[in-house]
Structure 1
Amino acid sequence: MIPQSLIDQVVKMALAEDAPWGDLTSQNFIPETATATAHLVAREPGIFCGAKVFATVMSTTDAKTSTIFPVEDGASFSAGETLATVTGSARSVLQAERIALNFIQRMSGIATLTAKYVAEIAGTRARIVDTRKTTPGLRALERYAVRCGGGSNHRFSLSDAVMVKDNHLAVLTASSKLGVTAALREARAKLPHTVHFEVEVDRIDQIEPVLAAGVDTIMLDNFSLEELRQGVALVAGRALVEASGNVNLTTVGEIARTGVDIISVGALTHSVRALDLGLDIEIEASA
């Protein structure tokens, strides 16, 4: 689960951005004593994600607001289904509405898209993983949504694991004046034994020199299907094989069937469509 402290931080930032000096419309047009019951309704089918974030938005606006969820994160739902019921001050519910929807629509959209990718690779050894192509400040939420959709997470940040990409490799070999294998071995000697070591290659002939350095994972970037099959055969279990580039719902099944272990998909987070969820509000008469 996402730490509550992180959810609180993100929600407070979003609410401050949306209503820095209050909600002028609700404060001036909605009676202070009016209460509301609102239903979060699915306009299309999908995978639910973001209950805790949605509820936090509502309760941060007004601690007395109650949110009940008949579904759990990771559950599938149909169009027309009620996913949450909110009860509280009408002013507070109306102020929180857009931010709450923004979060849950995006998180459910990511979970739903991830589930589609996972379904396409069923029966293979591959796992679908996300990338660092996330919305700044929302990475923890978006990666949680990937997990709700049945996917897995790559390294969370630059501090979590080593990934030597093409530009790193070019600078490393040029500055050290060593061959690829020797340069990687020398750099790896500086790492704690617990650090995962991954290197990206974009040509078949780079595979053996990189494997000789003792990497944990080798990323085959923008390889054709035939090149992926050749790469998997060359690696022969000496490291995990990750495929990256040219991955979409049309290609991911064939990529998985080449025998790779991991398929990283930036599209899970960088260009996902928010799911169509609506908040239907019933305003009750003021006392």
Structure 2
Amino acid sequence: MTSTPSTGWRALVLRYPLISFFTLANAISWLAWTPYILSLDGLGILAFRYPDFLITNQLTAILPGAYLGPLAAAFTVTAVTEGRAGLRRWRRRLFQVRAGLRWYALALFGIPLAIVAGTFAMDGAEDVVRLPSMTALALYLPMLLLQFFTTGLAEEPGWRDFALTRLQQRHHPLVATTILGVLWTIWHLPLFLTPWGGPDAGPEAILRFFVLTMAISYVITLVFNRAHQSVPLIMLLHSNINNFMSVMWPDVFPGEHPEWLWGPTLGFCTLALVVIASTRGRLGLPRTPVEVAA
């Protein structure tokens, strides 16, 4: 009997769940971001701008595509491949907060320390560094919560909870993380055509982002593997990176010095090398990986 289109599509997802996830995540997000890229904020082809909310328009222009990408793709592929039982397991992992205090300490304090230490290595940064202002300190926690429920929630249930667990079942954790880091970078690439990419959104900025994303990926994998695969903790870690870079970093290191942007990258690369060397490339994954369905 000839299969119906829906059956054929389902069979394809069942056979290639990871490829299906990455394809859906990119296609959905890129499609949702296309009006923003074509607007006056991007290439200027469409004569409109997205409304600002909390200083910039990133929440109105970028967040819908971020939510509709990895999060929706993870939900869809899980529903097709594992059904309602799989969705219940996926949902339970979203509330797994038991992880150990040292990993929360790393997410909250170790990550900013790596960023600051890397920036200190930049020429001239030590001459202008200052204590954070009261404004930055007052904004930090509210903005962290906002990042947690926007960037963190939109991305990590897909990239780490869905994709990383499955990649590590098929590949060595170092290889799995490298694959995910490359694909994570590719997902962001269209945004370099918008103000999200910053004023220097050229080849150097893309290269710097790629190196930074790869380094962050190795650190996140270690925490994910060693902290009972806690998705909320990974969301917090990811959110704190974004939050520190947007709220605290420019306040602590004032001035327009493009070369200093390599500082956080240097800090994370150093941390990633320590993580890889200390775990002998296992990135905290036990010799017998935890099954996704467990």
- Pairwise same-fold verdict (TM > 0.5): no
TM (normalized to structure 2)?
0.20
Structure showing the higher strand proportion among its residues: 1
Higher relative contact order (CA closer than 8 Å, sequence separation 6+): 2
TM (normalized to structure 1)?
0.21
Structure showing the higher helix proportion among its residues: 2
